[in-house]
Structure 1
Amino acid sequence: MASHFFVGNANILWVDFLANGRRLSDENQQVQLLQHAVEANIDYLIIDAKVPYGQTTYPSRYGHHISRWSSGRFDAWKGRDFLKEFLSKAESFPINILANVNVFSEGYSKTSDGLVYEQDWKVTFYHEALSKESNAAEYLDAETIFVNPIHPEVIEHELNILKELHQYDLDGVVLDRCRYPNVFGDFSELSRSQFEVYIGEPIKHWPNDIMEVDEHKEVVFNKWFPKWAEFRAHNIKQFVQDASKVTKERFPIFADYVGSWYPLYYNEGVNWASETYQPDLSWTSKEFHKTGLAETLDFLMTGCYYPDVLIEEAKQSEKPADWYSVEGAIEKSLEVINGGTPFVASLFLKNYRGHPETFIDAVRLCKERSDGVMLFDTVYLEEYHWWDLLKKELSSST
């Protein structure tokens, strides 16, 4: 393992445990993955320490182990520690290993798995029927259950998970789902009381003075929405700052993953911009820029998750904005991050299924315009048999 601070022109590969965990229960497959990654000139592998439904891939004092999944999907991992196993094998390879922690997601509604069923932490939605609406950062059929990011017990729990990782010889930590679920959560009494303290006065008509939902399920921003967006972004930044302190006590690298669709990021309640970036959007306040968290990170990955690679292609496809393309998303990310931290453009490989040439064009563009490329996910390299294709491209661009 080659520990060092983050450097540019990085090739990063994500290994989602939900997609790869059963295959990687065979330790020979773990070695094979490392061999493939090194041969393809991957610099960083991101492996899950905590999956999107809250379970940990290592024995935790605080969370449920992945083998407790009621469906039996990961029974092969009973009594095992994925982080320990994988890191022991990675020692023989010149590659960096980062652990991903899915932060504010703690349950899976289809099987009622997760801590959210044991704790009173769940997000309170504006209206429960709207809970899955307008959630650009999740798949449409996602069953992820989020918890309130300002609940004191939630904050303590998530920081304890990060502290537990200190026992492992990692190169760093990546945060994912460090956000609100969507624009409709959280509207609990806790959030209301803290927001009123934040603005220094009571809300007369809760929650209508913040926003309403029309007959088409469209959100209508009212008087307090810009300050509400600022408040939510402030809450996330505060947690990220605390998480950074915990991480940097042990590891050299602290990073985050977000979606690239900044103009719509009121949904997620995160301001991943630089503090120097002053947005001019209908939902941002004059003080919104102070909630920018880019400077807290060693690098930031934004999901440029679009099948159209070039802006011109997005226009031909009649997309509503340039940033609905890889090129446009990179441009928007560069504008917003404004040099606050290194930025790595990220690709969703499923967008290029059956189109390997388009995939390579997208990789090339990310490498040319950002500080590297992040590929999500390993399972698609396996399924599409793209390892050799990737090796050829990344070898020529090194």
Structure 2
Amino acid sequence: MEQSNILWVDFLANATRLLDANKMKELIEHAQNCKITHLVVDAKIPYGFTTYPSQFAFHVSEMKDEQYKRWEGRDFLQEMIEHAKGTGLKVIANVDVFSEGSGINKEGMVYSKPEWRVTLYDESFSNMPTAMENHNDPTIFVNPIHPEVEAYELSIIQEIINHYEIDGVVLDRCRYPNIYGDFSRLSKEKFEAYIEQKIENWPTDIMTVEHKKPVFGKLFPKWAEFRANNIKNFVKKARNVVKTKNTDLIFTVYVGSWYPLYYNEGVNWGSKTYQPSFEWVSDTYCTAAYAEEFDFIMTGCYYPEVTIEEAKNNQRPANWYSVEGAIEMSKEVINGQIPVIASLYLKDYQDNVEQFLKAVKLCKEQTNGVMLFDTIYLEDYQWWGEFERFIK
């Protein structure tokens, strides 16, 4: 895989500015000048709404927030595709998979289909963060193994590749919300079938919670493997949908780079050739690894510290709490099986363009490119010029 410069265009962040078609055109021009190779364009956002008119999902203009109502009758995905046409930019449609509602505005598919909603270990944990990088995220998740959920999410992917001239699909939030979901009766039954035994003490044989922190029970390693296999099974079906349509379509994924903590999200994004040795890992955890299902992987190296040395100086708990350390972790876990593209959260470098460019340089030197999240920060920080000069 050649070096890729990937720019993410998050709908929620950019919706107001990109109402103006001239701003879309301007964005594409900036991207070309900055040698961007791929644009990631939101097709389905974290609250489950689609940016295009869907047969299955609610449109973003149906959200309660007034700024999004102005998108009524418009197709963000198609408009971005049109502006990118003929430029050489590849457009990858982003699908936020298992996130289907906003807890703030009480909206989204999960409110129409409450039976899909993730059942938490304890409902008092409903305000727990959904992921490490989203501490205040109001996103509500659905249970990945609910058969209606699986069919619905696959139908969205099918719809997108059937109706849009895109170059590929990226999965985001293709995971559980956190370690506290899903503890439904369905998950219990499926897990018992998976381990071929009845659970004596549910859910304490899996884990207990003390001082708002999980304490692993005797079944937790198999539970972590079970959850990761559930996500892998969906990924394999999603890949089949995409590649059956066209084998040349890109099929990729975004994950957080913090692999030692990713059991929280119920995902083993490593290679099946990699067997980690953490306390929560079963002997067969590598069977739940899904890296080989993708053409490449984008791992979020979301740290203000660029080097391992900086992380040590700032007394971070581990080396991988840095862009350099996160890259090393990502490459170790992927084990050379697919290309790795290190990803940066530009807000980490606010008021420090030199640190941002230092991070980009490292990503490009040590992985197959860089993914920038998100466009809005290049705009707000007025970094287009600096980035263009750097990249040339």
TM-score (norm: length of structure 1): 0.96
Taking the aligned partners of 1:71 and 1:21, their CA distance within structure 2 comes to 12
**2:75 corresponding residue in structure 1:** 81
Unmatched runs of 5 consecutive residues or more in structure 2: none
Q: How much does 1:304 deviate?
A: 0.3
**2:17 corresponding residue in structure 1:** 23
Q: How much does 1:195 deviate?
A: 0.2
Taking the aligned partners of 1:13 and 1:25, their CA distance within structure 2 comes to 19
**1:381 corresponding residue in structure 2:** 378
Taking the aligned partners of 1:347 and 1:138, their CA distance within structure 2 comes to 12
Moved more, 138-147 or 269-278: 138-147
Which residue, 150, 164, 167 being the options, matches 1:168? 164
Query: Percent identity of the aligned residues?
Result: 55
Deviations 1:149-182 (A, max 9, x none): 0000000000000000121000000000000000
Which residue, 36, 39, 43 being the options, matches 1:49? 43
Taking the aligned partners of 1:134 and 1:316, their CA distance within structure 2 comes to 28
Deviations 1:20-79 (A, max 9, x none): 012111111111110100011000000000000000000001100000001222122101
Q: Which amino acid aligns with 1:330?
A: I
Q: 2:119–2:181: 8 Å Cα contact kept in structure 1?
A: yes
**2:277 corresponding residue in structure 1:** 280
Moved more, 130-139 or 191-200: 130-139
**1:391 corresponding residue in structure 2:** 388
**1:3 corresponding residue in structure 2:** none
Q: Which amino acid aligns with 1:162?
A: I
How do 1:225-244 residues align onto structure 2 when only pairs under 5 Å count?
A: 225-244=220-239
Q: Which amino acid aligns with 2:21?
A: E
Q: How much does 1:340 deviate?
A: 1.7
Which residue, 6, 10, 21 being the options, matches 1:12? 6
Taking the aligned partners of 1:370 and 1:133, their CA distance within structure 2 comes to 33
Which residue, 287, 290, 296 being the options, matches 1:290? 287
Taking the aligned partners of 1:198 and 1:12, their CA distance within structure 2 comes to 39
**2:331 corresponding residue in structure 1:** 334
Q: 2:301–2:323: 8 Å Cα contact kept in structure 1?
A: yes
- Give the match's secondary structure for 1:33: helix
Distance change in 2, residues 1:171/1:200 (3 Å): same
Q: How much does 1:132 deviate?
A: 3.6
How do 1:170-319 residues align onto structure 2 when only pairs under 5 Å count?
A: 170-214=166-210, 216-251=211-246, 252-319=249-316
Deviations 1:278-300 (A, max 9, x none): 11010010000011101000010
Unmatched runs of 5 consecutive residues or more in structure 1: 1-6
How do 1:97-116 residues align onto structure 2 when only pairs under 5 Å count?
A: 97-116=91-110
Q: 1:134–1:183: 8 Å Cα contact kept in structure 2?
A: no
Q: Which amino acid aligns with 1:228?
A: W
Q: Which amino acid aligns with 2:35?
A: N
Q: How many residues align?
A: 388
Taking the aligned partners of 2:127 and 2:300, their CA distance within structure 1 comes to 20
The question of 1:67 aligning with 2:61 is answered yes
Q: How much does 1:367 deviate?
A: 0.2
Q: 2:129–2:137: 8 Å Cα contact kept in structure 1?
A: no
Q: How much does 1:393 deviate?
A: 1.6
Which residue, 132, 150, 172 being the options, matches 1:155? 150
Q: How much does 1:116 deviate?
A: 0.2
Taking the aligned partners of 1:94 and 1:282, their CA distance within structure 2 comes to 47
**2:347 corresponding residue in structure 1:** 350
Q: Which amino acid aligns with 2:213?
A: E
Q: 2:129–2:136: 8 Å Cα contact kept in structure 1?
A: no
TM-score (norm: length of structure 2): 0.97
The question of 1:36 aligning with 2:22 is answered no
Q: Which amino acid aligns with 2:55?
A: R
Moved more, 321-330 or 386-395: 386-395
How do 1:132-151 residues align onto structure 2 when only pairs under 5 Å count?
A: 132-133=127-128, 135-151=130-146
Q: 1:175–1:256: 8 Å Cα contact kept in structure 2?
A: yes
Taking the aligned partners of 1:269 and 1:323, their CA distance within structure 2 comes to 20
Q: How much does 1:271 deviate?
A: 0.2
The question of 1:322 aligning with 2:319 is answered yes
Q: For the aligned residues, what is the CA RMSD?
A: 0.9
Q: 2:130–2:139: 8 Å Cα contact kept in structure 1?
A: no
- Give the match's secondary structure for 1:35: helix
Deviations 1:319-356 (A, max 9, x none): 11000000000000000000121100000000000000
Q: How much does 1:135 deviate?
A: 4.0
Taking the aligned partners of 1:389 and 1:174, their CA distance within structure 2 comes to 28
- Give the match's secondary structure for 1:249: helix
Q: 1:131–1:184: 8 Å Cα contact kept in structure 2?
A: no
